[in-house]
Structure 1
Amino acid sequence: MGRLWRREFGRLATLVAAGALVGWPFSAIPIGIAAGLLFCLAFHLRQLHALHQWLTLRPQEEPPAASGLWGELFDRLYRYQKRQRLTQQRLRATLQRIQESSEAMRDSVVMLDRHGDLEWWNSAAERMLGLKPQLDRGQHITNLLRDPRFVDYFHGRDYREPLTLPSPIDESLILQFQITLYGDDERLVMARDITRLHRLEQMRRDFVANVSHELRTPLTVLAGYLETYTDMAGQLPPRMGRGLSQMKAQTDRMQNLVNDLLLLSRLEIDQGGRDDAPLAMGELLESVQNDAVALSEGRQSIRVEVEESRALFGSEQEIRSTLSNLAFNAVRYAGEGRHIVLRWRPHGEGACLEVEDDGEGIDPVHLPRLTERFYRVDKGRSTATGGTGLGLAIVKHVLLRHDARLEIDSRPGRGATFRCLFPAERLRHTTDNVQPA
């Protein structure tokens, strides 16, 4: 390239010199130089016009014939065009394969721009969501999916968990929506049909609720007779007395399990909110503390700390169940001689209901699964302590119904802290619920 530039400068100098020589006999050297420069300018304008004609009228053809710097420029532009065309062909082919694969998917795929307007969707989205290619392109997604839960989910920008809703065109069709952010704040909305899974889950819930309900009557009868026979244990042989004691303990355990199953089923089915009221958290913590002290039988030190003056707006029965499950778990698993704290304190703009102990702690590998039904860290010890394995599952569902979440912080040998984090919307300012720490 440097050689070509030197050649162009040499050509310009030659033209200027020739013009000066032509004008010298006539004492018009400046005019001769100007003529040489004008000739050079005309040449370059002609080449520039050829370039313009090529790029605008015949971009697919080969470039005009030229030599020197212009020839090199034409060749480079031509090679660049060929590379660009190949790249565009590959991109179009890739995009075509993506669209074909998306069309083959049974799940709905909808692409939104940074404003939330519809750009593209597959045929499954037309069947599940009722989108129409000629009418809906460019529409905002919330103009078509108007369910308030989807609108809140879309604008909330917290897409870690999917959202389950009925189809906007067929309420018998249950869809699970998942939004993914990509590019320049663009969104990919995917919706899958989970109607069958939803029905199976509903059948499971109904089965558990019905079986649990049916078990209550025979268990009540058994417990009544066992209580009567236990009162007569002095009149029975020692071997039968021991058997009665074990039968009563296992019947009580079965009753607790049935009660927890019924509560969990109600939490899953019932939407809640009808019995919400401002709760005096200090009084509630002290009440649960008394129950935990009775369960502990002096093996642990249990105290209450209230640092938040606002009341929690929620269901007293469900919040009591949550706090009791966490407190009783601490009593069962912290170990003898440990300290347990039931705490109600501020957390950001919201508040935190916290149960903390300095016991043996939990290996972090177990933490993601602690809220699963019947999950046991130590099955032998859990059975011995009388737990049902449903306590933390109940806690999880209660918190979901109260717009809250559960955080667990624990390490082996460093105790465990269970935090129930409530948003500011669930709090009420009052002065009658503050108890001394």
Structure 2
Amino acid sequence: MNHNWHGTLIRHLLMLVTVSLLAGLISGHYGGCLAIGLGLYLAWTLKQLLRLHEWLRHHKPDEPPPDGYGLWGEVFDSIYHLQRRDQRVRGRLQAVIDRVQESTAALKDAVIMLDSDGNLEWWNRAAETLLGLKTPQDSGQPVTNLVRHPRFKEYFEHANYAEPLEIPSPVNDRLRIQMLITRYGNNEHLMLVRDVTRMHQLEQMRKDFVANVSHELRTPLTVICGYLETLLDNVEEVNPRWVRALQQMHQQGGRMQTLLNDLLLLAKLEATDYPSDNQPVAVSALLQSITNDAQALSGSKNQHITLELESDVSLKGSEAELRSAFSNLIFNAVKYTPAEGKIRIRWWSDGRGAHLSVQDSGIGIDSKHIPRLTERFYRVDSSRASNTGGTGLGLAIVKHVLLRHRAALEINSVPGKGSVFICNFAPNQMTKP
């Protein structure tokens, strides 16, 4: 309003009372004239209020409020200015939204906005190419109804978006897409989808190369090791100067065979997402067997190895793969724990799933190395490799086995005080024996 509306209202009322009293002075009916004047003012005010109500109910977005005069004229004028200001703000916001939509539409990556329940709200053109979304019929549909891959449904429902998910495109099986979901606002979801077909092909070429080379090297290495064993079995007939060389060649040949076996096992694990022999595995008996082997491996080091079985639950999966993963963790503890050291193996279950921990009092690992421990051939200390005879693939095998069994590896370590490796299995992997 242009000035204080309280003053305007008081002046109007004083003017009305003055006119009513003058009319009463002329007619001799002061009370009646005053009542008539106030009634007329009330009727006029009610009429203006009804005009405002009617305009609010039926006005179009850009339609100005009705004309008026006096106090109501100022009210309508203020509403008009508010309306114009709101239109300018909405225009600026719409311009920003249009620019954002134009920029996201130009992206090769798909951008999808989902509400808190996972229903589609908005997406760019790349989402139609990579996921097959259709405008406008898919708007409001649950994203799991349109992307039906079981791994995506599991990924979305578990709400653990720390790592991206890679699956075939629902539009074209030859396309490989990577999905990453971020939460924002009121538990809403922003989903980014990238075409990683080229990267997947390069990674597959690398895996195939390693697997093929490992397979091709296996036969000649077996022949070489076989002849070396034959020569060592007849060491009396061999020149004494060659005995030590033959023994070292045989030892290194054995290491190469172990390395090739681990590479082939990794290639097999990466070939599929799930174990082919998905059967209940009695973990208690499996751990007891591995612990006995660890005692034998410990030998003269006289380590104190304890096994605590606090649950009788079994796991769905491959016994051979689980044996490989568990034995890698336990045998590593034996290798890196000094004589008279302690190794504690514990199996238990709770509301979050089943858990295996392998705790040792060994040399420990610096925190900067922990994120890379499961990488192939990564060495915390390269000088230790020859002493322990490891291939550098053990924890990589553990990681892939756990991924195939819907589990995760947790590592905690303090240099000089030992390490704890924990395998956490999801509740849906558990089964009663």
Structure 1 and Structure 2 fold alike (TM over 0.5): yes
Q: Which among 306, 309, 320 is matched to residue 306 of structure 1?
A: 309
Superposed CA deviations along residues 56-113 of structure 1, whole A, max 9, x for unmatched, are 369466985755x546544543443333222211211111111111211112223334
Q: Which among 89, 92, 111 is matched to residue 90 of structure 1?
A: 92
Change in CA separation of 1:360 and 1:50 when aligned onto 2, cut-off 3 Å: same
In structure 2, C-alpha distance between the alignment counterparts of 1:298 and 1:276, rounded to whole Å: 38
In structure 2, C-alpha distance between the alignment counterparts of 1:185 and 1:337, rounded to whole Å: 52
Q: Does 1:325 align with 2:328?
A: yes
Please identify, of 69-78 and 88-97, the stretch whose mean Cα deviation from structure 2 is larger: 69-78
Please identify, of 263-272 and 390-399, the stretch whose mean Cα deviation from structure 2 is larger: 263-272
Change in CA separation of 1:29 and 1:65 when aligned onto 2, cut-off 3 Å: closer
Superposed CA deviations along residues 153-204 of structure 1, whole A, max 9, x for unmatched, are 3333333333322222322222223333333443333322222222222211
Determine the structure 1 residue equivalent to 2:265: 263
Superposed CA deviations along residues 128-165 of structure 1, whole A, max 9, x for unmatched, are 23333254334443333333333333333333333322
Within-5 A mapping of 1:19-34? 19-24=20-25, 26-34=27-35
Please identify, of 316-325 and 78-87, the stretch whose mean Cα deviation from structure 2 is larger: 78-87
Determine the structure 1 residue equivalent to 2:151: 149
Change in CA separation of 1:277 and 1:13 when aligned onto 2, cut-off 3 Å: same
In structure 2, C-alpha distance between the alignment counterparts of 1:75 and 1:25, rounded to whole Å: 38
- Asked if the contact 2:65/2:79 (under 8 Å) is kept, the reply is no
Change in CA separation of 1:244 and 1:75 when aligned onto 2, cut-off 3 Å: farther
For 1:316, the aligned partner's letter is E
Q: Which among 382, 385, 407 is matched to residue 385 of structure 2?
A: 382
For 2:16, the aligned partner's letter is L
Superposed CA deviations along residues 258-299 of structure 1, whole A, max 9, x for unmatched, are 111011111111444332333333332222123222332332
In structure 2, C-alpha distance between the alignment counterparts of 1:64 and 1:383, rounded to whole Å: 94
In structure 1, C-alpha distance between the alignment counterparts of 2:170 and 2:282, rounded to whole Å: 42
- Asked if the contact 1:209/1:265 (under 8 Å) is kept, the reply is yes
In structure 1, C-alpha distance between the alignment counterparts of 2:289 and 2:357, rounded to whole Å: 15
Change in CA separation of 1:29 and 1:234 when aligned onto 2, cut-off 3 Å: farther
Partner of 2:300, secondary structure, is coil
Determine the structure 2 residue equivalent to 1:401: 404
For 1:105, the aligned partner's letter is L
Q: Does 1:344 align with 2:347?
A: yes
Change in CA separation of 1:346 and 1:156 when aligned onto 2, cut-off 3 Å: closer
In structure 1, C-alpha distance between the alignment counterparts of 2:131 and 2:425, rounded to whole Å: 34
In structure 1, C-alpha distance between the alignment counterparts of 2:75 and 2:339, rounded to whole Å: 86
Please identify, of 13-22 and 56-65, the stretch whose mean Cα deviation from structure 2 is larger: 56-65
Structure 1's unaligned 5+ residue stretches are 431-437
Deviation at 1:318, TM superposition (A): 0.9
Determine the structure 2 residue equivalent to 1:435: none
Change in CA separation of 1:318 and 1:59 when aligned onto 2, cut-off 3 Å: closer
Within-5 A mapping of 1:221-300? 221-232=223-234, 240-299=242-301, 300=303
Determine the structure 1 residue equivalent to 2:107: 105
In structure 2, C-alpha distance between the alignment counterparts of 1:169 and 1:417, rounded to whole Å: 44
Determine the structure 2 residue equivalent to 1:132: 134
Deviation at 1:301, TM superposition (A): 1.8
Structure 2 length-normalised TM: 0.88
Deviation at 1:321, TM superposition (A): 0.6
Deviation at 1:320, TM superposition (A): 1.0
Superposed CA deviations along residues 355-405 of structure 1, whole A, max 9, x for unmatched, are 111223222222222111111111222343211111111111111111222
- Asked if the contact 2:284/2:312 (under 8 Å) is kept, the reply is no
Deviation at 1:330, TM superposition (A): 1.0
Determine the structure 2 residue equivalent to 1:433: none
Change in CA separation of 1:351 and 1:250 when aligned onto 2, cut-off 3 Å: same
In structure 2, C-alpha distance between the alignment counterparts of 1:230 and 1:390, rounded to whole Å: 29
Change in CA separation of 1:253 and 1:70 when aligned onto 2, cut-off 3 Å: same
For 2:367, the aligned partner's letter is P
In structure 1, C-alpha distance between the alignment counterparts of 2:83 and 2:172, rounded to whole Å: 50
In structure 1, C-alpha distance between the alignment counterparts of 2:316 and 2:61, rounded to whole Å: 73
- Asked if the contact 1:54/1:64 (under 8 Å) is kept, the reply is no
In structure 2, C-alpha distance between the alignment counterparts of 1:58 and 1:153, rounded to whole Å: 44
In structure 2, C-alpha distance between the alignment counterparts of 1:290 and 1:47, rounded to whole Å: 94
Partner of 1:374, secondary structure, is coil
- Runs of at least 4 residues off by over 6 Å: 52-55
Change in CA separation of 1:166 and 1:313 when aligned onto 2, cut-off 3 Å: closer
In structure 2, C-alpha distance between the alignment counterparts of 1:233 and 1:426, rounded to whole Å: 53
In structure 2, C-alpha distance between the alignment counterparts of 1:140 and 1:423, rounded to whole Å: 25
- Asked if the contact 1:50/1:64 (under 8 Å) is kept, the reply is no
Change in CA separation of 1:66 and 1:368 when aligned onto 2, cut-off 3 Å: farther
Q: Which among 207, 214, 217 is matched to residue 215 of structure 1?
A: 217
For 2:37, the aligned partner's letter is G
Deviation at 1:209, TM superposition (A): 0.9
Please identify, of 27-36 and 194-203, the stretch whose mean Cα deviation from structure 2 is larger: 27-36
Determine the structure 1 residue equivalent to 2:6: 5
Determine the structure 1 residue equivalent to 2:180: 178
Change in CA separation of 1:313 and 1:124 when aligned onto 2, cut-off 3 Å: closer
Determine the structure 2 residue equivalent to 1:416: 419
Superposed CA deviations along residues 234-271 of structure 1, whole A, max 9, x for unmatched, are 66666544333332332222111111101111111144
Please identify, of 261-270 and 360-369, the stretch whose mean Cα deviation from structure 2 is larger: 360-369
CA root-mean-square deviation? 2.9
For 2:220, the aligned partner's letter is P
